[in-house]
Structures are given as C-alpha cells and as structure tokens.
Amino acid sequence: MDFTEKYTSDKDEKMLLRRINDLVKSSEKHFSVVYSGFLDPAQQALVSRVTEFYGFIEAIGGYDDAERRLLRICTNEYSNDDGAPIVLFTAEATMKDAEISHRDVLGALMGLGIKREMTGDILPNGSRPQFFCHASVADFIELELKKIGRYNVELRRSERAELYETRYKDMTVNISSMRLDCISAEDFGISRTKAAEYIRKGLVFVNWQPKEDPSLEIRSGDRISMRGKGKIEVTGVSGTSRKGRLFVEIRKKL
C-alpha cells in the first residue's frame, strides 16, 4: 500500500511526500544529511504529520520567523553535514528611492527560470530587497539577475537578514456569519459574490492551504490570504449585535 494514502488524497501532495520519502531513503543508504527544496507552510504542515518521518526532519529557513523552509533530513546522528544550502542575497537598486515589492522580486526570479522550490522568503525592504535561495542556483542568479521590476540592481551575498518591524492594523468588522466568503468580502473590500468567485478559483488560502468552499466556517486564529489582496488573521469574536451580526476582530498586515 502507498503510505501517502494515509495522509492525503491530493495528487500533488502525494508526490511531495514520495519525494521526501526518497530523500529519507537516500540519507539512510549513504549515511548522509540531505536537504529538500523550500516548502511553503502548508507543505511543511503536511510533512510534519507523517509518522514515518518522525525524528528525521528539521525545517530551516535562514532566520527564525521564515515562512518558506527547506527540510534537513538526517537518519543517522553520525552523518556529515556541510550546512544548510541556503544563500541570502541583498539586491540594491541603483535608484535610491526605488520601491521594490515582493511580487517584483519573485517575478524577476521566475523570469530567469528559477523554480519556486529553489527560493525561500523574500524581504522587500524598499530599495534593498533581500531574498533566500538554494545554493545550487545562487551562482546563476548572481550572474544573471541585473534588474528587478523597472530598476537596475546590484547583488551581493549577505550574512544576515535585515528584518524590519512588520506593521499591522487591528480592526473590528461587522459580518453576518463566519463563512469564508463573508469574512473575505469584508476584509478585502470586495463584494460577497466576487469573494465567492475568488474562492472557487482557488485564489483564497486559509492557513496557507487553498480552500474552494465559500461556506467554510472560519475560526479564531485562522489566517486568510487572497492572491493580490493581502493577508489577515482572525483574532477573535468580541460580540453580537442586536440583529445577530458578529463583531469579528482581525489583524491585517500592511
């Protein structure tokens, strides 16, 4: 029996678990430490549920709060390890007042043919964005990446991520129910019909996993993102109006 059947019915998720299982077997066979490509939080959560991998895997992203992480796989404590194959680049725009977005950086990397699994977190930081990548593609990126968006940039390898305080806005919204389409419509400033359309197209994520059911019940602590619209976290329900509507507390990333 395929062990992945115990954990998921999704074809792509099964393929991911099989790839990780192959890495585990390689570590066992060669008494070596091996690393995966970068995984998003949903993929990491899936792998963490697999009992066959317990004790073998650690997620590493280059800094403490990283979302995208690669997996360090070690099946023998005496295995040699040359360190995580993660390189951090700082791209400094030649125009000092440049504003380079996360999307600009990702687009530039994809334009070079770099697969998403080869890139980690992207830290926009205005005119000096930083990004993590797998060491196997670092030399190519260093040679080829000369422009991000409409700005010329100079790349350099860096030792430490320049982290700036993330700004949030705490809000209270008044909605009829905790359905995903209701919360998405209110929080992202679109109609409920449009929100449902986005959800059915797989453009809305709850706790980093795509959800295509507009009626999905959202709970306190859930994180919701809509592609191109932003991210929010539901932090609680503070009360109910006389008409039965809910006062829902959210935190929106600016």
pLDDT digits (tens, 9 = 90+) for 54-87: 889 999 999 988 999 999 999 988 777 888 999 9
Write out pLDDT tens, residues 92-148.
Answer: 999 888 889 889 999 999 999 999 999 999 998 888 999 999 999 999 999 999 999
Beta strands in 78-229 (DSSP E): 86-93, 119-123, 130-134, 147-148, 151-158, 168-175, 204-206, 209-210, 223-226
- CATH code of the domain made up of 3-73: 3.30.1370
- Choose among 177, 216, 176: nearest CA to 196: 216
CATH topology classification for 168-253: 3.10.290
| pTM for this predicted structure | 0.77
Q: At what angle do helices 41-48 and 11-30 cross, to 10 degrees?
A: 60
Segments of the chain assigned to CATH 3.30.1370: 3-73
May I ask the CATH architecture of the domain 86-158? 2-Layer Sandwich (3.30)
Residues 7-20 as b/e (b if ≥16 CB within 10 A, e otherwise) read beeeeebbebbeeb
Are 245 and 174 in contact by the 8 Å Cβ rule? The answer is yes
Segments of the chain assigned to CATH 3.10.290.10: 168-253
